[in-house]
Structure 1
Amino acid sequence: MLAASGADRNRTGRPAKPQLASHPVVELLLATEADWLVESVEAALAGPDVRITTVDRGADVLPAVRQSSPDAVIVDFQLANMGGMAVCADLRLESGAGRLPRVPVLLLLDREADVFLARRCDADDWIVKPLDALTLQRALDRLVPAAARTT
């Protein structure tokens, strides 16, 4: 979609070149040490309206959220040095204390039995691996409605 009006003119009096209208962008933080998972998430969600930042340690999630304020965090449940449940609990504690806005968390689980733990740590949503692109896209749409996306 192009956005330019007749009133937009450059110094020569000619119409200015139309500019592309800005589209809502989804800023995601992906926490995993598994290269195949990074590739799967990027393949499923890639597009001009999605930006994915990756960290490979659970301890790096909180500083990354503070720095970039993502629209959602996707966390591998089997994350080194601080598992997905601990990462989610840490984010919830920080937001509950008012030190961080609440950010939606999507946990990537290894088995159906882990759903209990995902609920326990107050994850907003979860998917049992292996990932399905459509399921991942739908989960993201539930977590970050179009109206809440960054422009």
Structure 2
Amino acid sequence: MKILVIEDNESVSSMLEMFFAKEEISGEFVSDGLEGYQRSKTAEWDVIIIDWMLPSMDGMTICRKIREEKNTVPIIMLTAKDSESDQVLGLEMGADDYVTKPFSPLALMARIKAVTRRYQVTIEGTADRTVIKTEHFEINKNTREVSLYGQLIKNLTPKEFDLLYYFAQHPKQVFSREQLLEHVWGYNFYGDERTVDVHIKRLRKKVGTSNQPFFHTVWGVGYKFDEVLVEHEI
């Protein structure tokens, strides 16, 4: 596994460098934001870890630029412990996950494994419903391609694809936020359900319309995937 870490805190970088060596992970560490962004384009990374506050270019800008280039590499943001707005903004900019400081290497490793798990499954290959075809969507698990109305959707992040694929496997079934965190993210998200809401909101913007949002809120429970036309969607 190759991981790019863009972090200007020397103690954090040193801690991760020692932990990565123990886990036999190839890690590259960059302390400058602009340099880190440029480095992100020069190799195939399994995961990119980006701190929020960086010299030259902040983490949100790096994340946004990576996604604008249609790069779907999993991104984990590092944020301050009490920066709730930062966490939400990071997800909206295209991050797949976030870790709040201070954190333990084991907690970060759980996030890394979660965001890369589905890629490993794809590389190994599975015969379990590789392509899902619905009334409007065609979703290919192996190529991680999504077509809507016959047009290829190119701007989905890895976690958005995972969420759409999971919903399409279970049309009209209602899932709580806790269930989605468990099945799509792959671990306990420590009670923070905001990430589900943010990803649903982004998917609605990217593939839905006002009268066909595809992802419907079921008040008091969670969400469901339904391709039915509606007059209003709250």
What TM-score does the superposition give when structure 2 sets the normalisation length? Answer: 0.47
> Which deviations, in whole Å up to 9, do the C-alpha atoms of 1:66-110 show, x marking residues without a partner?
222111100011111111111100100011xxxxx3111100001
Separation in 1 of the partners of 2:38 and 2:103?
A: 26
RMSD (CA atoms): 2.1
Match of 2:106 in 1: 134
Give 5+ residue unaligned stretches, structure 1: 1-25, 96-100
Residue 55 (structure 1) shift: 1.4
**Which residue of structure 2 lines up, in the alignment, with residue 83 of structure 1?**
58
Paired with 1:44 and 1:35, the residues of 2 have a C-alpha distance of: 14
Unpaired segments ≥5 residues, structure 2? 124-234
Residues 75, 108 of structure 1: 8 Å contact kept: yes
Counterpart code for 2:38: P
Greater relative CO, 1 or 2 (CA 8 Å, sep 6+)? 1
Give the one of 49, 72, 75 matched to 1:102: 72
SS in 1 for 2:22: coil
CA distance in 1 between partners of 2:107 and 2:13 (Å): 16
1:124 and 2:99 correspond: no
**Aligned residues of 2:3 and 2:47 also touching (Cα < 8 A):** yes
The number of residues matched between the two structures is 120
SS at match of 1:134: helix
Residues 103-130 of structure 1, C-alpha deviation per residue, up to 9 Å, x if partnerless?
Answer: 1110000134121221221210000001
Write the letter of the residue equivalent to 1:132: S
Give the conservation status (yes or no) of the 8 Å contact 2:2–2:45: yes
Structure 1 position 48, deviation (Å): 5.7
Aligned: 1:111 with 2:72:
no
